[in-house]
Amino acid sequence: MAFKLVLLFGVIASACSYAVSQPGTSVTTAVTTVSADEGEEGILSSHDRSVIRITWDQAKRDGDVAPQILFRYVKAHPEYQKMFSKFANMPQNELLSNGNFLAQAYTILDGLNVAIQSLSSQELMAGQLNALGAAHHPRGATPIMFEQFGTILEEGLAEELGSIFNAEAKQAWKNGLAALVAGISKTLINQEDFADPQTKLSAHQIRDVQRSWENIRSVRNTLVSSIMIKLFKETPRIQKYFAKFGKVAVDSLTGDVEFNKQVALVADRLDTIVSASMDDKLQLLGNVNYMRYTHAARCIPRSAWEDFGRLLIDSLGASGVSSDDLAAWKGTLAVLINGISPKN
């Protein structure tokens, strides 16, 4: 069965149904109403937002505006009609009287209402655009499809509103549609590239990190030992945080029992996080929180964690880890460091 392409504003409508009310912003999906604090900085100027809302309020008084816009779209791009499974093979001269076609048209109308009233909230729109991009990439949607819909929408408004849709209104709509399409284009990503809102990691990052770690985990103690010695040589005061070998000469550390115990502990903790925890969100967050609270009393500065991460990246690169996998490691380490030692 051909997939049903959910158009730009139709998906925005469904995304809004899950939005959480925030100070200055209220969402009531039952009547498709979104009100936002006019003082907020939205994705457009307040003037453009006002013009768009006024002209849209006038256009939607005609109950046929949504079906006519969707009809224009599939007539101009008949190949897209095949993507709507419920009326894919319907003759075009019968579309405007087809219930499934009309239902899709009014879904778009509903989404337009929400999107236009949401223009004042960058946060709300960003969440909607992220969800939209992640949902549509696997379906083969492209930015050009949304650009084409925007062009059809402008043409439909011009015909519906006549002289009211003047140069000022046309420019405001161009600005609004361009901003929305630009936002969507940036978020048309694979689902596995979409970062989890809690861990801030994507499935793609996790996969790349775990795969590259598997190739070197058998020598993890040697790797960590080398990193810690380099770290102590760069910043001697960091060694002082380890009371059991804080006064041992750096060049003698590899023969020190307590140092090697600490190396094994760090290497095993890193292995646990990468190999066992990253696929389990709760376990990963638990490990990060454990490290955060167990190290807080020692007052190890954030810079020490950042330096350890930098040296780990250098060591991974020297071990033959690819540039793509190193990019995944950098993003992952940034997330872990932020969790263990948050910025003040």
Tell whether 3 is covered by a domain.
no
List of residues 6+ apart from 318 with CB closer than 8 A: none
Written as one letter, the residue type at 263 is V
Tell whether 62 is covered by a domain.
yes
Q: Pick the closest to residue 151 from 69, 62, 230 (CA basis).
A: 69
3-state secondary structure (DSSP) of residue 245: coil
Count of structural domains, the chain: 2
- Residue 230 belongs to a domain with what CATH number? 1.10.490.10
How far are the Cα atoms of 74, 82, 258 from residue 85, in angstroms, in the given order?
13, 7, 67
Claim to verify: residue 172 and residue 232 sit in the same structural domain: no
* CA diameter of the chain: 86
Residue with token string 């040697």: 222
Radius of gyration of the chain (CA): 27
Enclosing H/E stretch for 178: helix 167-187
Which domain does 154 fall in, by range? 8-190
Q: What's the burial of 60, exposed, middle or buried (CB within 10 Å: 0-12/13-18/19+)?
A: middle
As a dihedral over the C-alpha atoms of residue 34, residue 40, residue 41, residue 46, rounded to 10 degrees, the angle is: 70
Distance, C-alpha 81 to centroid of its chain: 29
Claim to verify: residue 120 and residue 211 sit in the same structural domain: no
Claim to verify: residue 178 and residue 219 sit in the same structural domain: no
Claim to verify: residue 172 and residue 240 sit in the same structural domain: no
Claim to verify: residue 63 and residue 108 sit in the same structural domain: yes
Spell out the per-residue pLDDT of the chain, length 344, in tens.
333 334 444 433 333 333 333 333 332 332 333 333 344 456 788 899 899 999 999 988 887 888 999 999 999 988 888 878 899 899 999 999 999 999 988 887 887 787 787 777 777 777 667 766 666 666 666 778 888 988 999 999 999 999 999 999 999 999 988 888 887 777 766 666 667 778 888 888 999 999 999 999 999 999 999 999 999 999 999 999 999 999 999 999 999 999 999 999 999 999 999 988 888 888 888 989 989 988 887 888 999 999 999 999 999 999 999 998 999 999 999 999 999 999 87
Please list the alpha-helical segments (H only) found in 188-256. 203-214, 220-234
Claim to verify: residue 28 and residue 73 sit in the same structural domain: yes
Claim to verify: residue 139 and residue 47 sit in the same structural domain: yes
